[in-house]
Chain A
């Protein structure tokens, strides 16, 4: 029995080590390629170490070099500026996280604690909206945003996401229901208004789940591709995902500009790594929590 137990632990270690290796290896390939001269791609693409490391690829994808210089260094001549795309991604994600979290908290509290006509019907519709595939609403939403003249604007990019997302409301409602009622009842007997109770009592008790849902919204929106791709193709409003895709497809026939692409990817990964270094525990636990307790 003891023997099978330790054998089991050995198998566990092997699985874990394998998964970690498979997870991490591609990142080395990305960084290594980003540090290569683009001319070396055809001869040294499979070396484990860049034979003559250079930061020229980083410079050109950040728009720090003139077009001529960048073509000489292996670029396609396409205008690229990943610092702008990074900035757009931050604004896009940040606005949605703030507005959606606030809106979800307010409505979730009402669904959890207040009695009002239509409560169950409206909440049911919110939950049902989670089942509708994105592609169904994206077509009419695109037409709406176009008719409003909001194509290639931050407003058009955030509009469909920022006010309501079924999961955020559902998640926070579950939390508010689980919160003990005593404090709120005491405040009510003291004569506090419902809004006062929500704002001054329930919200301060909900900081942890609010951070959790904000983190989950942030991860999803940072990675969103299709909607910004449809409504904000213009370079001035491209987010990182759209900029990466268009950088890849801008290259002429034949091979994409691999070293430039890998430099752009390395830069795009940095905010995620930074987030994990600063708030790793919070991020991991937020994701774990999303599946229900």
Chain B
């Protein structure tokens, strides 16, 4: 220890001064994070709320218009279409992704701890949405893509996938299931490895089947991981943007114009900053509400193992 800090410590020994030193050090330590939080989270959130009550195209100064933006979005069919599409998207994406991830995790837990296998399974998640979207844009190309080649060689009809208003959203969901199933599997696998083996041994002695063990031991004890996976993947999925920006740009015929894509185009293509902010406020309210309900319903914090 340096001479000076020994000296300072001696000086700050009396209780109130110790407390003062503690407070001072604490604020010094949180200062950078506090600046980042204030400048780039707290103030912008307040600013967004403020902007949501204005009409602003970034050229002239913002004009206060009260609740007009909120009234407008209430009657804006494309806003509700965006909300509806984001919800559909979550339903197309999450159940299948979670199920595949869970079964993959159970399979890996039984078969292998190989770091090579785990790396391969995780690989798609380590690549950006943009990159993954471009790979699939090529593979799903209606004329040249390998997927349509496979389909036609099986004697089935060519599919438009991203080019079809009926298939585009589901196709985007499929692309993201490909990217995320390994991540979900890895998270579940970590949870599985914390379940004491003797529970399964005891169940086997009792003659339980694999399905019974999965249903009555694995699933209940995975609850904390399940909550984490569901909260993060549902909120992330509802805010899908990157893949859509790269593959469909909201089309065809608005069939993938999900809420975040609609907000971003309003803000940065049409310069409707006030209107976009109002929509983002509604989105934020929905996301916060969902997170709180989900945590409440699934009692996130307490584990059955504790």
Contact = CB atoms under 8 A, between A and B. Distances in A.
B13 to A, nearest CB: 8
A244 B132 CA distance: 11
Interface in A1-45: 1, 4-5, 8-9, 11-13, 15-16, 19-20, 22-24, 26, 29-30, 33, 41-42, 45
A261 B138 contact: yes
A131 B283 CA distance: 11
B44 to A, nearest CB: 4
B131 A116 contact: no
Given A125-B42, A136-B44, A191-B9, A198 B29 contact: yes
A107 B129 CA distance: 31
B34 A276 contact: no
A132 B277 CA distance: 13
A142 B47 CA distance: 12
B128 A240 contact: yes
Contacts of B297: none
Nearest to A12: B107
B144 A106 contact: no
A191 B33 contact: no
A129 B284 CA distance: 11
Interface stretch (A56-64, A65-73, A159-167, A206-214): A159-167
Contacts of B9: 191-193
B225 interface: yes
Contact of A291 (B40, B191, B241, B291): B191
A292 B190 CA distance: 9
Interface residues of B, number: 111
Contacts of A262: 138
Given A107-B30, A194-B22, A19 B110 contact: no
Contact of B131 (A4, A33, A169, A241): A241
Interface stretch (B71-79, B90-98, B160-168, B261-269): B261-269
B37 A135 contact: no
A127 B103 CA distance: 31
Contacts, number: 311
B288 interface: yes
Candidate in A15, A30, A116, A275 with the most chain B CB atoms within 10 angstroms: A116
Given A193-B9, A226-B264, A281-B115, A110 B207 contact: no
Grouping DSSP codes into helix (H, G, I), strand (E, B) and loop, the A interface class, with mixed when no group exceeds half, is helix
Given A107-B30, A159-B40, A288 B138 contact: no
A291 B190 contact: yes
Nearest to A222: B128
Candidate in B30, B45, B100, B182 with the most chain A CB atoms within 10 angstroms: B30
B229 to A, nearest CB: 7
A127 to B, nearest CB: 11
A287 to B, nearest CB: 5
Interface in B77-110: 100, 103-104, 106-108, 110
A119 interface: yes
Contact of A115 (B12, B22, B135, B138): B22
Contacts of A106: 29-30, 32-33
A1 B207 CA distance: 8
B142 to A, nearest CB: 11
Given A140-B277, A195-B25, A241-B242, 10 more contacts: A41-B144, A110-B30, A139-B51, A193-B9, A258-B144, A262-B138, A276-B123, A284-B122, A284-B186, A287-B122
